[in-house]
Amino acid sequence: MSGEFDTTFHSMGSDVRLLIGSPLAPAAPDPWLAAEREQDFVEDYARRLSRFRADSELSILNADPRPRVPASPLLRAAVRAAVWAAERSGGLVDPTLVRDIERAGYVASLDGASPASLSEALAGAPPRRPASPHADERWRTISVDDREGLVARPPGVRIDTGGTGKGLCADAVAHRLAGYTRFVVDCGGDLAIGGVGAQLEPYRVEIEHPLSGETIRSVEVASGGIASSGLNVRLWQDGEGRFAHHLLDPSTGEPAWTGLVGATALAPTALEAETLAKMALLLGAEGAARVLEGHGGLVVHDGGDVQIIGPLDRRRGVLSVAGGVSR
Percentage of the chain lying above the pLDDT 90 cut: 84
| pLDDT tier, 321 (very low <50, low <70, confident <90, very high otherwise) | very low
Residue in 94, 297, 299, 95 with CA at minimum distance from that of residue 209: 299
Structure confidence at residue 325 (pLDDT): 30
Report if residue 46 sits inside a domain: yes
Report if residue 21 sits inside a domain: yes
Mean pLDDT of 80-105: 96
CATH number of the domain that residue 184 is part of: 3.10.520.10
Kindly report the backbone phi and psi dihedral angles of residue 26, in degrees, each rounded to the nearest multiple of 5, phi listed first.
Answer: -60, -30
Q: Which amino acid is at 232?
A: N
| pLDDT tier, 318 (very low <50, low <70, confident <90, very high otherwise) | very low
Using CA atoms, how far residue 193 sits from 98, 114, 273, in Å, is 31, 29, 12
Contact 68/152 with Cβ under 8 angstroms? yes
Report if residue 191 sits inside a domain: yes
Q: pLDDT tens across 1-60, in order?
A: 457 999 999 999 999 999 999 999 888 999 999 999 999 999 999 999 999 999 999 999
List, in order, residues 6 or more apart from 327 with CB less than 8 Å away.
186, 188, 189, 190, 191, 207, 208, 227, 228, 264
Q: pLDDT tens across 208-248, in order?
A: 999 999 998 889 999 999 999 999 989 998 777 889 999 99
Report if residue 164 sits inside a domain: yes
Structure confidence at residue 111 (pLDDT): 83
Report if residue 325 sits inside a domain: no
Q: pLDDT tens across 260-295, in order?
A: 999 999 999 999 999 999 999 999 999 999 999 999
Using CA atoms, how far residue 194 sits from 181, 205, 267, in Å, is 8, 13, 13
Please give the Cα distance from 301 to 288 (Å, whole number): 11
Residue 108 has pLDDT above 90, yes or no: no
CB count within 10 Å of CB 162 equals 22
Expressed as residue numbers, the domain containing 259 is: 5-319
Structure confidence at residue 241 (pLDDT): 82
Report if residue 327 sits inside a domain: no
Residue 143 has pLDDT above 70, yes or no: yes
Q: How many domains does the chain have?
A: 1
Beta bridge partners of 177: none
Report if residue 324 sits inside a domain: no
Inter-axis angle of helices 270-292 and 162-176, to 10 degrees? 120
Residue 182 has pLDDT above 60, yes or no: yes
